[in-house]
Structure 1
């Protein structure tokens, strides 16, 4: 019974040792000619670094003739980098005869860029297609342009260089500048290569992580007549302004008319008030003896005669003078 317990303890110890110490990985490294100490692998376990993440890329780099140490790979892994991708990029750069030291590749990887894709783009340039860029020529016609930009990654400027979005924005700016400086949209349609020449001469790849190889115009279309639309909008705005001014003048005229009506009503009130005072004045004059009874009757006769003449004039509006003029 005691021998069985001892056997189980020994078996568990062996299983623990082989699970903690990657003996198989150590044997693979020795078979590949890469010297990795068993205590180095144990140290990786203690530092919580998966030995396979370091040993396998190290074997790959050694077979490709890349001079890199396990400490460099482990330090890059602890810094949060992708060790396998960095080694693949170093191998690709070596095969393409592109100078790429390990420190620069690690810096590019830690900067958040895909270092392997950058090396591949240096060998095989990438084509970036811009969205449709709308610009207006001097004759007011809109021109819609789509371009294809062939770029190659610049390894030296990958750290700190601008990305594809900057390239697209600068190309769009060059297209707008070229079309906007054209006298007519027909010039752009006849010579679309002017856009490519203008954009290339501006050096748009300065400060970016790419090198522009060529700019090709993929499509050129005629859009809206912006000039005519602006004139129409301006005419509509002028019409609304004129209508507003006319409405303002009409409101002022209505206010003036109301003011005059109020003044006339006020004058009529004063006339009525003054006419109301006439009988009082006449009664007072009679009492004071300043006005006789015959004078009062004569005045009444005069008023009656005046009213009769007014009535006759209303029935026959033509005056004797106008009748004579019409006979003539």
Structure 2
């Protein structure tokens, strides 16, 4: 008998737990007393849709207490099922509302689903963030190498956060602008004396276009002098010119040697021809004697 009572008691407890789990009455009562209207059946159906009712109700309560309007449980469920972070979205909306930033629930969810931290983005929009640009190396017109370090103060551009370029683009553009400004300086002394001129010029170029940030200021933290690139280039050019001159001189010497060899060959050829001609004289004389031509020629001369 006692065993049966224990079994029945256990079944009753399990049944009550299941009922309270399926019908989160406590959560519904909390929502009602917090000024949030949610149907009890909606909370039950959330279980079947694999949506945590506690997260939805707590998000609604947080938004309602902060004065955020036009947020329903259906919108919150949709964003949760899409893989969004409800807590970050609601907190971001609250921070934006307190800071008088224009942000709608649709914008916040789009930023969140785009993979960005929407809460951090809003916080950076309220409190500007400093980006450290790696060392930038440029060369002035007089050939002096300059190494600068820059700091860029930005804040989030909420309207361009979805699809806008990130921090690395800001660094690349600022570095390019500083290098260009250094390259147009007639002398490195101008850069050292007035680094703020570079900052103003780069800032005026609108480098934040198409990015998720708005550049507030660009500050040159430090400038160091590097190598004398101009002198090094001149030395390298002189060395290259010397190599070219040596190569041309060697070419002329080789041509002179070749011409000398060619002349010697011609002389040797001429000498060989003379020797060959001299060698043919005795044979010609012998032939003439044999033919009697030489005697006939001598008699003809005597008769004359």
TM-score range, shorter chain: 0.7 to 0.9
Offset of residue 176 of structure 1:
2.1
Matched, 1:37 2:36: no
Identify if the C-alpha distance between structure 1 residues 75 and 270 changes in structure 2 by more than 3 Å, giving closer, same or farther. same
Offset of residue 123 of structure 1:
1.6
Offset of residue 187 of structure 1:
1.0
- Structure 1 counterpart of 2:98: 95
- Structure 2 counterpart of 1:55: 57
- Structure 1 counterpart of 2:301: none
2:192 to 180, 185, 189: 189
Deviation digits for residues 65-114 of structure 1 (CA, Å, limit 9, x no counterpart): 32221111111122232211111101111222323221111122222222
Q: Distance in 2 between matches of 1:270 and 1:123?
A: 105
Q: TM-score, normalised by structure 2?
A: 0.83
Matched, 1:65 2:67: yes
Offset of residue 18 of structure 1:
5.2
Offset of residue 273 of structure 1:
2.5
Q: Distance in 1 between matches of 2:78 and 2:258?
A: 89
SS of aligned partner of 1:48: coil
Q: TM-score, normalised by structure 1?
A: 0.78
- Gap regions ≥5 residues in structure 1: 296-328
The answer to which of 149-158 and 200-209 deviates more is 200-209
SS of aligned partner of 2:208: coil
- Structure 2 counterpart of 1:298: none
Deviation digits for residues 270-303 of structure 1 (CA, Å, limit 9, x no counterpart): 23322331221121123233457xx9xxxxxxxx
Matched, 1:78 2:111: no
The answer to which of 2-11 and 156-165 deviates more is 2-11
- Structure 2 counterpart of 1:231: 234
- Structure 1 counterpart of 2:122: 119
Identify if the C-alpha distance between structure 1 residues 17 and 240 changes in structure 2 by more than 3 Å, giving closer, same or farther. farther
- Structure 2 counterpart of 1:135: 138
SS of aligned partner of 1:132: strand
- Gap regions ≥5 residues in structure 2: 299-304
Identify if the C-alpha distance between structure 1 residues 194 and 273 changes in structure 2 by more than 3 Å, giving closer, same or farther. same
Please report the RMSD computed on the Cα atoms of aligned residues, expressed in angstroms: 2.8
Offset of residue 218 of structure 1:
0.3
1:261 to 253, 264, 277: 264
The answer to which of 2-11 and 52-61 deviates more is 2-11
Identify if the C-alpha distance between structure 1 residues 244 and 17 changes in structure 2 by more than 3 Å, giving closer, same or farther. farther
Q: Distance in 2 between matches of 1:19 and 1:263?
A: 118
Q: Distance in 1 between matches of 2:19 and 2:278?
A: 133
SS of aligned partner of 2:235: helix
Identify if the C-alpha distance between structure 1 residues 268 and 45 changes in structure 2 by more than 3 Å, giving closer, same or farther. farther
Offset of residue 167 of structure 1:
2.1
Structure 2 matches for 1:3-42, cutoff 5 A?
A: 25-26=27-28, 28-30=30-32, 32-42=34-44
SS of aligned partner of 2:134: coil
The structure having more radius of gyration, on CA atoms, is 1
2:161 to 158, 161, 173: 158
Matched, 1:199 2:202: yes
